Structure 1
Amino acid sequence: MHTIASNPQDDPRKAFGTLLQQHRGIVFKVANSYAWQADDRDDLAQEIATQLWHAWPRYDPARSFSTWMYRVALNVAISHVREHSMRLRHDAVPLDAELHEITGTDTSDHEHRHHLLLLQRFIQQQAPLDRALLLLYLDERPQREIADILGISESNVSTKIGRLKQRIQQTL
Structure 2
Amino acid sequence: MCSFKKKHSKNNHNRYSKIFYEPVIISDLSHQLNKTILSNDFYKTSILPFSGIIIKLCRAYTNSQEDFEDYYQEVCLQIWRSQKNFREESEWSTWVYRISLNVCLTLLKKKKNNVQHFVSDTTPTHHETVNSYAFSDESLNQLYIAIRQLSEIDRAVIMLYLDEKTYQEIADIIGTNPNNIGVRVQRIKMRLKKLLDGKIN
Bin of the TM-score, shorter chain as denominator length = 0.7 to 0.9
Cα deviation for residue 26 of structure 1 reads 2.8
Q: Is the 8 Å Cα contact of residues 59 and 68 (structure 2) preserved in structure 1?
A: yes
The more displaced of 90-99 and 157-166 is 90-99
Q: Which amino acid aligns with 2:134?
A: E
Q: Distance in 2 between matches of 1:65 and 1:38?
A: 28
Runs of 5+ unmatched residues, structure 1: 1-12, 101-106, 108-112
Which residue pairs with 1:142 in the alignment? 166
Which residue pairs with 2:90 in the alignment? 63
How many pairs were matched up?
148
Which residue pairs with 1:8 in the alignment? none
CA-atom RMSD, angstroms?
2.4
1:17–1:116 distance in 2 versus 1, CA, 3 Å: closer
1:116-162 C-alpha deviation (Å, 9 max, x unpaired):
34322221111110111111011111111000000011111111101
Q: Does 1:28 align with 2:52?
A: no
Q: Percent identical across equivalent pairs?
A: 28
Q: Which amino acid aligns with 2:181?
A: V
Which residue pairs with 1:103 in the alignment? none
Which residue pairs with 1:126 in the alignment? 150
1:22–1:119 distance in 2 versus 1, CA, 3 Å: closer
Q: Which amino acid aligns with 1:28?
A: I
Partner residue of 2:79 out of 52, 64, 71: 52
Q: Does 1:75 align with 2:107?
A: no
Q: Distance in 2 between matches of 1:63 and 1:16?
A: 20
Cα deviation for residue 61 of structure 1 reads 3.2
Runs of 5+ unmatched residues, structure 2: 1-39
- Give the structure-1-normalised TM-score: 0.75
The more displaced of 33-42 and 65-74 is 33-42
Cα deviation for residue 74 of structure 1 reads 0.3
- Give the structure-2-normalised TM-score: 0.65
Cα deviation for residue 15 of structure 1 reads 4.1
The structure, 1 or 2, with the larger RCO (C-alpha pairs under 8 Å, 6+ apart) is 2
